[in-house]
Amino acid sequence: MDKVHNQVLLVTGGGRGIGAATARLAAQQGWTVAVNYAANSLAADEVVRSIRAAGGTAMAVQADVADEEQVLAMFRRIDAKLGPLGGLVNNAGVVDVSARVDEMSMTRWRRMFDINVLGSMLCAREAVRRMSTRHGGAGGSIVNLSSAASRLGSPGQYVDYAAAKGAIDAFTIGLAKEVAAEGIRVNAVRPGLIDTEIHASGGLPDRVRDLQHLVPMQRGGTADEVAQAIVWLLSPAASYTTMSLLDVSGGR
């Protein structure tokens, strides 16, 4: 994988799971990493500490991606402390407890879409304003985190989450076309069953073990395996790749 040199990358939700793995791997590949977190400063600080211990450069930045003022403040801090943005990984996201659609509340849906969709769009907007050659930028790369759920629908569990990730797929395609001539590549990674903390937050801590028999590879994936795909899409090695939806799902 081609390394970058002192380019600034923002990873939202970078304190745990796929975000943390991506932040660490990106730092190994030469990125200066802003590790975003909403509330868990200790987890984000630990990721930053591990990056610095390995010789990389990173800082933690707080913002709830669903709050526009917090996001604007986060981008201003990155501008001031780290320099021009070269990459964005829209990783911050949530699930909720398993439920049928006829059991779900409007409050749940608003949270699901505010964080998973509008938060990603908001961060992408601010990244484009900084990276697009139309705005005087030097170009860059955006990787959105979608999910295999956007293809599978997650019936009986997370139809709202699947719908939010379907919106991310459409957003990725449209934005990629919109900014392709302005030096920005936009892609998405669609993880399948990945062994991270997100399943426990949805009330199903054993979900990967329980469903891995449905995966052709007969196992769940790891956060590090997803991070490899994300960091490749960010890198110069993917210089002719945009508008791609890359499945990292073991064949599911």
Point out the residues that are catalytic: 161
Per the CB < 8 A criterion, the answer to whether 4 and 36 are in contact is no
Residue with tokens 């997370």: 158
Vertex 81: Cα angle to 12 and 187 (nearest 5): 35
| Maximum distance among all Cα pairs of the chain, rounded to whole angstroms | 51
Concatenated DSSP letters for 97-113? ----GGG--HHHHHHHH
Label residue 231 exposed, middle or buried (CB < 10 Å: 0-12, 13-18, 19+). buried
- Tokens for 233? 């899409």
Q: At what angle do helices 223-234 and 17-28 cross, to 10 degrees?
A: 50
d(CA 229, CA 18): 11
Q: Name the β-bridge partners of 11.
A: 35, 89
